[in-house]
């Protein structure tokens, strides 16, 4: 089954499911990791919280306590810090790809000492800036990231982590399913759907361990 969409600036975009690719990295592969933000990195939906008066008030009263709640508590924040550190130490860059506002994501990551590990936050404005439109917004943005100057040709594997199955090339994906870019056939996309449903509690400690193991396989 091929999943394709209209082009961006004349480029034919899309991802084709790969049935033969291994569900594990090899040491020869050059990986980049792209995370969704709300209910993937966070345990609560920050974008929705900040659209309400209670969320805005809680942030203003106690910024540290607010973000501790958003990210699921101190233990989970420490686990996220360890995960991000492991990914960066492996040599893989981390990007955030979200429909949320970049400034809000920036503040949240700064408050939890995660921002230092992230190369770039691509939020709501980035989709307009790159002329990306529905359907298939995030799969299109994944292709766009991979064709940008300074990135094209540098990476041949992408691990994409998101809680919303609609943001993958196909809705029915499992962890570490693989897709091949129709723009660059040497690029493999590995999917990692978080939790059981959209807008859940974000990455669990067990899922963070799965990602750590996956990334580690590429270092061996």
Residue 195: count of CB within 10 angstroms of its CB: 15
pLDDT at residue number 91? 92
Alpha-carbon gap, residue 75 to 217, rounded angstroms: 25
Report the C-alpha gap between 219 and 156 in whole angstroms: 15
| Count of other CB atoms within 10 angstroms of residue 71 | 23
pLDDT, residue 126, reads 74
Spatial CB neighbours of 57, under 8 Å, sequence gap ≥ 6:
none
Query: How many CA atoms lie less than 13 Å away from 169 in the CB half-sphere?
Result: 27
Can you tell me whether residue 168 is helix, strand or coil? coil
Q: What's residue 76's pLDDT?
A: 97
pLDDT (0 to 100) of residue 173: 92
Give the residue carrying structure tokens 């061996």. 220
Residues of the chain with pLDDT under 50: 1-12
The pLDDT assigned to 110 comes to 97
Q: Tell me how far the alpha carbon of residue 38 is from its chain's centroid.
A: 10
CA distances from 97 to 78, 120, 175 (A): 22, 9, 18
* Residue 3 DSSP label: E
Per-residue model confidence (pLDDT) at position 35 = 97
């Amino acid at each position: 089954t091929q999943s394709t969409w209209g082009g961006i600036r004349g480029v034919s975009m899309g991802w084709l499911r790969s049935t033969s690719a291994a569900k594990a990295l090899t040491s020869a592969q050059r990986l980049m990791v792209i995370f969704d933000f709300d209910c993937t990195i966070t345990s609560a939906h920050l974008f929705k919280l900040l659209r309400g008066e209670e969320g805005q008030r809680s942030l203003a009263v106690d910024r540290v306590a607010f973000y501790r709640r958003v990210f699921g508590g101190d233990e989970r924040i420490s686990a996220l810090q360890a995960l991000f550190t492991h990914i960066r130490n492996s040599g893989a860059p981390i990007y955030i790809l979200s429909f949320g506002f970049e400034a809000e994501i920036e503040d949240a990551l700064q408050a939890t000492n995660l921002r230092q590990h992230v190369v770039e936050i691509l939020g709501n404005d980035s989709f307009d800036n790159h002329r990306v439109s529905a359907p298939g917004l995030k799969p299109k943005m994944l292709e766009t990231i991979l064709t940008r100057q300074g990135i094209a040709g540098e990476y041949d594997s992408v691990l994409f982590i998101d809680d919303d199955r609609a943001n993958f090339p196909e809705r029915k994906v499992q962890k570490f399913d693989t897709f091949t870019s129709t723009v660059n056939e040497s690029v493999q996309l590995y999917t990692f759907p978080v939790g059981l449903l959209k807008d859940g509690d974000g990455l669990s400690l067990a899922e963070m361990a799965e990602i750590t193991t996956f990334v580690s396989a590429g270092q061996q």
